[in-house]
Amino acid sequence: MKKIVFAFAIAIIIAACNKSEKFANVDEMVNKAEKQVKIITSEELKGLMGGEEVYTLIDVRQADEHYPGYIPGSVNIPRGSLEFKIADSIFWESVGIYMPLPSEKIIVYDQKGKRGILAAQTLQQLGYTNVLTLKEGWKQWELTFPDIFEKNLEKMSGGHDTPKPAGGC
């Protein structure tokens, strides 16, 4: 009898632990995540850019949002791909920088801040311990430092590639 009661108590505890949290809307989800992540301002990021500290800057916007204007030195990994590319050494080799270690400083940003908060939380859940998100994202950076940005319009869909010759009549 004691074994049955003990097994039943363990089953209840496990069921309670596996309960997933439900949110009424995305804003509620972002607000909860924001309490778990560290925030960096545009001014703090600019100061970091001029210093000696090693960090990785990741733009989690979609490619068509990234290429018209992005913070210098950032790597574009859309939020939907972040979990798969963050620890993919082949990806990091393709962009020409080393893969960040879980203990190294990683700063993520998006357009206005919400995706960046969720991306930072995701990286923390994957074991990255020094993750920050840029307060109010690219838009705040653009307002604060309108002359400090890069762009790569050739990488946008359509680009400026020369058409490849095609055979046939």
Domain assignment present for residue 5? The answer is no
Range of the domain at 110: 37-155
Q: What pTM, to 2 d.p., does this model score?
A: 0.79
Rounded Cα distance, 114 and 29, in Å: 10
Domain assignment present for residue 13? The answer is no
Question: pLDDT tens, 6-34?
Answer: 555 555 555 555 567 899 998 898 999 89
Question: pLDDT tens, 102-125?
Answer: 999 999 999 999 999 999 999 999
Burial of 165 (0-12, 13-18, 19+ CB in 10 A): exposed
Domain assignment present for residue 145? The answer is yes
Domain assignment present for residue 94? The answer is yes
Domain assignment present for residue 15? The answer is no
Domain assignment present for residue 149? The answer is yes
- The CATH number given to whatever domain includes residue 58 is 3.40.250.10
pLDDT of residue 102: 97
For the chain, what is the domain count? 1
